[in-house]
Amino acid sequence: MAQCERLSSKEEALIRSVFKNYVLEHHSEDISQIITEAEMHTHHPIVVNAMNLFEANMEVGDYFNVYPSEVLTLFDEVLQQIALELSRNGQQGAAEQKPMCTLHARISGLPVCPELTRDTIPRSRDVGHFLSVTGTVIRTSDSKVLEYQRDYMCTKCRYVFQVNAQFDQFYTFVPPVACPNPERCESHKFSCLSGDTEPAACRDYQEIKIQEQVQRLSVGSIPRSMLIALEDDLVDSCKSGDDVTIYGIVCQRWKPFTEGTRCDVELILKANHIEVNNQHTAVSVLLEEAHKDMEDFWETYKLNPLAGRDQILMSFCPQIFGMYVVKLAVAMVMAGGVQRIDSTGGKVRGECHMLLVGDPGTGKSQFLKYAAKVMPRSVLTAGIGSTNAGLTVAAVKDGGDWHLEAGALVLSDGGLCCIDEFNSIKEHDRISIHEAMEQQSISVAKAGMVCKLNTRTTILAATNPKGQYDPSQSLSENVALASPLLSRFDLVLVLLDSRNAEWDRTISSFILEDRGRPGQPADWSSLWPIDKMKAYFCLIKRLQPQLSQDANRVLTSYYQLQRQSQGRNARTTIRMLESLSRLAEAHAKLMYRETVTIEDAIMAVSVMECSMQGGALLGSMNALLTSFPDDPVEQYKTQCELLLEGLHLPQLLQKEMDRLSAQSGS
Could you write out the DSSP letters of every residue in 108-135?
E----STTTEESS---GGGTT-EEEEEE
CA-angle at 331, arms to 330 and 332, nearest 5°: 90
How many Å apart are CA 150 and CA 413, to the nearest integer?
Answer: 42
- Picking from 377, 401, 385, the residue whose alpha carbon sits closest to that of residue 277 is 377
CB 277 within 8 A of CB 245: yes
How many Å apart are CA 425 and CA 427, to the nearest integer?
Answer: 6
Q: Which pairs from 210-218 meet CB under 8 Å and 24+ separation?
A: 210/133, 210/135, 210/136, 210/137, 210/138, 210/244, 210/246, 211/135, 211/136, 211/138, 212/119, 212/120, 212/121, 212/135, 212/136, 213/119, 213/134, 213/135, 213/136, 213/243, 216/119, 216/120, 216/134, 217/120
How many Å apart are CA 394 and CA 404, to the nearest integer?
Answer: 6
What is the mean pLDDT for each group of 10 consecutive residues in the chain (666 residues)? 61 84 81 74 82 81 83 85 76 47 83 78 84 84 80 81 79 79 77 71 84 70 84 83 85 78 83 76 57 80 84 82 83 86 78 85 82 81 70 73 76 82 76 78 76 82 81 77 81 78 68 53 65 82 86 87 66 78 89 87 85 58 68 83 84 84 72
How many Å apart are CA 31 and CA 47, to the nearest integer?
Answer: 11
How many Å apart are CA 369 and CA 399, to the nearest integer?
Answer: 37
CA-angle at 259, arms to 254 and 262, nearest 5°: 45
> How confident is the model at residue 195, as a pLDDT?
63
User: What φ, ψ does residue 628 adopt, rounded to 5°?
Assistant: -65, 135
How many Å apart are CA 364 and CA 14, to the nearest integer?
Answer: 62
Sheet containing 354-358, strands listed edge to edge, beginning at the edge strand earlier in sequence: 378-382, 416-420, 458-463, 354-358, 491-495
How many Å apart are CA 202 and CA 199, to the nearest integer?
Answer: 7
DSSP 3-state of 407: coil
Strands 130-140 and 243-254: antiparallel
User: What φ, ψ does residue 522 adopt, rounded to 5°?
Assistant: -80, -20
Residue type, 376: P
Q: Residues 6 or more apart from 384 whose CB is under 8 A from it?
A: 421, 424
Determine what percent of the chain falls in helix, strand and coil, rounding each to the nearest 5: 40, 25, 35
Q: HEC profile for 372-399?
A: HHHCCCEEEEECCCCCHHHHCEEEEEEC
- Picking from 356, 418, 339, the residue whose alpha carbon sits closest to that of residue 582 is 339
CB 502 within 8 A of CB 461: no
Q: Give the number of other Cβ atoms within 10 Å of residue 282's Cβ.
A: 18
DSSP 3-state of 203: strand
Handedness of CA 138, 142, 148, 153 (dihedral sign): negative
Q: Give the number of other Cβ atoms within 10 Å of residue 598's Cβ.
A: 21
Torsion on CA atoms 15, 18, 21, 27, rounded to nearest 10: -70
DSSP 3-state of 439: coil
CB 379 within 8 A of CB 386: no
- Picking from 307, 242, 287, the residue whose alpha carbon sits closest to that of residue 534 is 287
How many Å apart are CA 315 and CA 308, to the nearest integer?
Answer: 11
8-state DSSP, 237 = S
Q: Residues 6 or more apart from 314 whose CB is under 8 A from it?
A: 519, 520, 521, 526, 527, 628
How many Å apart are CA 86 and CA 97, to the nearest integer?
Answer: 10
91: left (phi over 0), alpha (psi -120 to 50) or beta: alpha
CB 269 within 8 A of CB 250: yes
